[in-house]
Amino acid sequence: MNTSGVLVVGSANMDMVVVCEEFPKPGETILGRQFGMFAGGKGANQAVCSAKLGGDTFFVGKMGNDIFREKLSQNMKSDGVRLDYLLIDNAEPTGIALITVNGYGQNEIVVVSGSNMKLTPEDINSHEKAFLEAGVVITQLEIPLKTVMETARISKKHGAVFILNPAPATRLPDELLRLTDYITPNEIELEMLSGIPVSDAGSATTAAKRLIDKGVKNVVVTLGSKGALLVNRDRSEIFTAREVDVVDSTAAGDAFNGALAFAISEGKTIDEAIRFANIVASYSVTKLGAQTSMPTMDEIKAVKML
Ligand code: RIB
């Protein structure tokens, strides 16, 4: 059996995106510039990213029995994600996200999880077959924590590399950290996970070491335009990102994670994988939307990023 695939266990959302000059203040009404609906959700975004780069990518997630599932699953399929293991919940609607993007490309996101939070540990168990094909398994925190735990346990049982993208931020049990080969927090998530204030590379390294002490093998902190920081037992190193004109930073973290998972599944070293993930993430912020902003390998080559 081929075990070089990337298995993504996670969420799918329909993103409703408005673009405006400045974020509105509480109680304020403003006029926006643009509105669009885009396929999103951290899990689906990471799966689409890996698949568009050429990875054999499959997705375990739960969508509602509604029009958004039809749109999202069509989109994922046409981007090359295998949906053999997609589950449907007849009671809850598919997840949605309300996203505001300001004139600087920054975003504010509110997610209503719907069916994503109905993905159970039993669902993961009943799809154990998917793990047999996976060299790398990646998940995030837009599904129940107990489901994330089960995903980690089954990944390790079958010898897959387990990557945890701890977004959105929450505290995590030590058992989960011990099962994690790579954890990929941003600075806010790292602060929450470690309990240490993070304001610069030095404090990020100290906070990341706290997670290493708890049993995570590698911490890869995403630093936005500053790139990424790798911390493990042997070393701590910053990998800088290239400068680009930012249109929309939504899903830059997902681009980084999807590309990291893909590169590791291709047998790249962690240094090579982080450099590649930085490039893919910097490409993604030059386009509006989540999955629409994920590049193919040809697109990356065309803009001479590689
Ligand atoms: O990381 C970006 C994603 O977060 C969006 O696509 C939105 O759906 C939320 O899940």
Q: Quick one: the chain helix, strand, coil %, rounded to 5? A: 40, 25, 40
**Average pLDDT for residues 129-133, to the nearest whole number?**
95
Q: Among the atoms of ligand 1, which is closest to the Cα of residue 95?
A: 8
Handedness of CA 216, 206, 224, 190 (dihedral sign): positive
- Interval 155-186: pLDDT, tens: 999 999 999 999 999 999 999 999 999 999 99
The CATH number of whichever domain residue 196 belongs to comes to: 3.40.1190.20
Residue 220 pLDDT: 98
Which of the four pLDDT bands, split at 50, 70 and 90, describes residue 91? Answer: very high
Q: Which residues, at least 6 apart from 289, have a Cβ–Cβ distance to it below 8 Å?
A: 15, 17, 36, 38, 39, 40, 248, 250, 251
Residue with tokens 């610069």: 200
User: Which residue's CA is minimally distant from atom 2 of ligand 1?
Assistant: 251
Which of the four pLDDT bands, split at 50, 70 and 90, describes residue 4? Answer: confident
* 71: enclosing H helix or E strand: helix 67-78
**Structural domain range at position 70:** 5-302
Cα of 211 vs centre of ligand 1, distance in Å, is 25
| Cβ–Cβ under 8 Å, residues 228 and 220 | yes
- Residue 218: strand pairing partners: 182, 232
Tokens of 171: 């505290």
Residue 302 pLDDT: 87
User: Which residue's CA is minimally distant from atom 10 of ligand 1?
Assistant: 41
Residue 49 CA from chain centroid, whole number: 9
Give the span between the Cα atoms of 123 and 120, in whole angstroms: 5
SS3 (DSSP) at 77: helix
Total of domains in the chain: 1
Residue 3 pLDDT: 66
Site residues for ligand 1, CB cut-off 6 Å? 11, 13, 15, 40-42, 45, 97, 109, 111, 142, 250-251, 253-254, 290
For the cut 70, the answer to whether the pLDDT of residue 304 exceeds it is no
- Interval 238-285: pLDDT, tens: 999 999 999 999 999 999 999 999 999 999 999 999 999 999 999 999
254 counts as catalytic: yes
User: Which residue's CA is minimally distant from atom 9 of ligand 1?
Assistant: 41
Task: State the catalytic residue, choosing from 174, 234, 254, 271.
Answer: 254
Give the span between the Cα atoms of 53 and 57, in whole angstroms: 10
| Cβ–Cβ under 8 Å, residues 295 and 280 | yes
Q: Among the atoms of ligand 1, which is closest to the Cα of residue 107?
A: 2
- Residue 96: strand pairing partners: 14, 112
Q: Among the atoms of ligand 1, which is closest to the Cα of residue 290?
A: 6
Q: Rounded mean pLDDT of the chain?
A: 96
For the cut 80, the answer to whether the pLDDT of residue 305 exceeds it is no
